[in-house]
Amino acid sequence: MTMKGIGASATEGGRYTLPVIKDPNTGLVVSDSLAIAEYLDKTYPEKPVIPRGANALIALFEPAYCSVAYGKAVDFILTKTLEILNDSSREYFIQTRLELLGEMHWEAVEEKSQQQWEDLKKGLDEIDKWYQKSGGKWIMGNAFSFADMVVACRTMWWNTIFDEEQRREFHSWNGGRWARVLADVNAECGTDL
């Protein structure tokens, strides 16, 4: 089954990327995680993930998060991600990520990755300040939102690719903020990620 096959729209950059949903109640196909959140809020409004009035600002969150934290350590994260992929995915992953990073050889990515553990830490220090500023346990204070899902999903990703010592250190940063946000999001959503 392909995304085109089920009638999905292309996502950023003209690619067809996951996540995608096909809603059995309406037959609609929606791709791109924020567009999916907006669709679900509109169609099933009883428990919104974008608080009223926050649509425009919530859309700024993931790009800002990426620019401040993930983007500073992208070579490191991608290098660690490559390690857990199976052979049939590796070649495609390398080719598409080199294109994304504007590099010719994976060795260049690996070399940059070696400096980026500290950069990731510093980036997360900035995101931690956003939480401190919010006045509650969520980015929007007492209101759970899509922004916290963005943060939790990064923790989930990194838990999967870091080795045990890296994971332990990561979980000690910012008073344990990152594992806690993931646990809080799991509790809020009834998931176990």
Residues that bind a copy of itself (CB under 8 A): 51-61, 63-64, 130-131, 133-136, 138-143, 147
**Toward a copy of itself, which CB reaches closer, 139 or 149?**
139
**Identity of the residue, 76 or 138, whose beta carbon is nearer to a copy of itself in the bound complex:** 138
The least CB distance from residue 95 to a copy of itself, in Å, is 29
- Closest separation in Å from C-beta 32 to a copy of itself: 14
Shortest approach of a copy of itself to residue 66 CB, angstroms? 12
CB of 60 to a copy of itself, least distance (A): 5
Smallest gap from residue 155 Cβ to a copy of itself (A): 18
Nearer to a copy of itself, 71 or 141 (CB): 141
* Cβ-contact 74, 97 below 8 angstroms: no
The DSSP-derived string for the chain is --TTTTTPPP-GGG---S-EEE-TTT--EEESHHHHHHHHHHHSTTS-SS-TT-HHHHHHHHHHHHHHTGGGGHHHHHHHHHHHS-HHHHHHHHHHHHHHHT-S-HHHHHHHHTTHHHHHHHHHHHHHHHHHHHTSSBTBBTB--HHHHHHHHHHHHHHHHS-HHHHHHHHHGGGGHHHHHHHHHHHHHT---
Give the span between the Cα atoms of 39 and 31, in whole angstroms.
Answer: 10
- 73 versus 140: smaller Cβ distance to a copy of itself: 140
Of 3 and 143, CB closest to a copy of itself: 143
* Two structure tokens written together for 156: 């989930």
